[in-house]
Structure formats: C-alpha cells, structure tokens
Chains A and B, each alone.
Chain A
Amino acid sequence: KAGVTQTPRYLIKTRGQQVTLSCSPISGHRSVSWYQQTPGQGLQFLFEYFSETQRNKGNFPGRFSGRQFSNSRSEMNVSTLELGDSALYLCASSLAAARDIQYFGAGTRLSVL
C-alpha cells in the first residue's frame, strides 16, 4: 500500500507570491491534517479535513487555507508569502476517527526569498 505522498518535495518562492502544496493520503484514509515545522516554532498544527470539510483549525492567519477533494486528496494554499513562511510542511492521513493513527508524508520544503 502506498504511503502519504506530498508534492512537490521542494519549492522556492518570493515574498508576495502564493503557493499550493498537495497531499495524497493513504488509500482509504479520509482524514488529512497539515502541520508546519520550523526551527523556531517547532511543529504546529495548521488544519484538518475530513470528507471535504475542515474539522479543526490551528492558530494561523487567514493566508493559510486548505481544501479536500472527494477522493480525499488535499491541497494547502498560502497567499502573500512572507519570509517567515519558510518551513517544512507535513501532511498526515488517518482512517477517520481521532483514535486512528496518523501517518505522515515526507513533507514539502518551502523556501521564501
């Protein structure tokens, strides 16, 4: 069974641009969560989607948004990029319930210049 796939692996953008990251969950998994990892702030929860609906949201500005499609694939969008958005963005998927284990992808490394 294929794992969680995140694309692209690396991305370089300039301030003010926008970016879209993609996450394909493990087959059969319906929940997708996104995390931001930086040296200064560590791992922080962005949001979680289940059945195309956002179920939970972390404490990030509205420039960070996401969506989930009917096949459970998810995208995360960051608009008006700032230098501080440079980070590793991790996606995790699980079957459905909070009791299920989350499996992580390898992440997308975003660099904002």
Chain B
Amino acid sequence: AQTVTQSQPEMSVQEAETVTLSCTYDTSESDYYLFWYKQPPSRQMILVIRQEAYKQQNATENRFSVNFQKAAKSFSLKISDSQLGDAAMYFCAYRSAFYEKLTFGTGTRLTIIP
C-alpha cells in the first residue's frame, strides 16, 4: 500500500518570504501522480500543483514549485513571495496512474506572518 508522510505539522513564514513544505511517499509503482492541495478555512480542497512521475522536470505554477526527487521518493513544495492568502492546510497526495483513489498525508498548517 502507498503511504504519504508530511513531517511538519505546522510551519510559519513572513509575508513575501519563501517557505518549503516537505513530503515523502512510499510506493512500488512506477507510474503515478503527486499533488499538493490547499485547504483554507472554507474547507474546499484546492489543487495547487501536480507532478507526473514520468516527467523529470519539476512542475511550476506561478509562485508555487516542487522539488521532485523520484529515487528518494521526495516531493516538496516551495512557495515564493508568500502572501496572506496562502495561509491554509497543505496536503500532499499520491495517486496511482490506474486508480482514482488519492492517498493523503496528514497535512501541514501554514501560517503567514504579516
């Protein structure tokens, strides 16, 4: 079974600074997807970024980028120029290329300090 581990329950960063959230996973599959989802107090899970395992290039979405290390099974999220609206719970998630099921980590609560 696949597992996803987020070892940082809470993180804080000064507004406009850069922060990195960590995620490791375990799988025996070779074809899969990794995601970072954001869950603000409104509860709606919002997709931040997606990485396809067969792509070596790290995904980037505006201020959000990932460091995908397939051999190390590591998938960290870097948020540049942090904004107050980035405050939320961030979940790392794994999905096999063959099934819809998402396996989530326990989440990291990110606080932005004005």
Asked whether A104 and B45 contact (CB < 8 A) given A42-B106, A98-B95, A99-B33, the answer is yes
Are A98 and B100 interface neighbours, CB within 8 A?
A: yes
**Are A45 and B102 closer than 8 Å at their CB atoms?**
yes
A31 to B45, CA, bound (A): 17
Total interface residues on B, CB under 8 Å, equals 23
Q: Say yes or no: B47 contacts A33, CB within 8 Å.
A: no
Contact A56 B101 (CB under 8 A): yes
A interface bracket (residues with beta carbon within 8 Å of B): 20 to 34
> Which chain A residues in 68-113 approach chain B with CB under 8 Å?
88, 90, 92, 94, 98-99, 101-107, 109
> Which residues of B line the A interface, CB within 8 A?
33, 37, 42-47, 50, 91, 95-107
Bound together, the chains give a CA A42 to CA B106 distance in angstroms of 6
Contact, CB under 8 Å: B100 / A94: yes
- For A42, give the chain B residue with the smallest CB separation: B106
Which residues of A lie under 8 Å from residue B42 when comparing CB positions?
106
Asked if A48 meets B106 with Cβ closer than 8 Å, knowing A98-B95, A103-B47, A106-B42, the reply is: no
B-chain residues with CB within 8 Å of residue A107 when the two chains form the complex = 43-44
**A96 to B85 alpha-carbon distance, docked (Å):** 31
Q: In the bound complex, do residue B99 and residue A56 qualify as a contact, i.e. CB atoms below 8 Å apart?
A: yes
Q: Give the contacting residue for B97; candidates A99, A101, A104; CB below 8 A.
A: A99
Which one of B91, B96, B102 contacts A33 once the chains associate, using CB atoms below 8 Å? Answer: B102
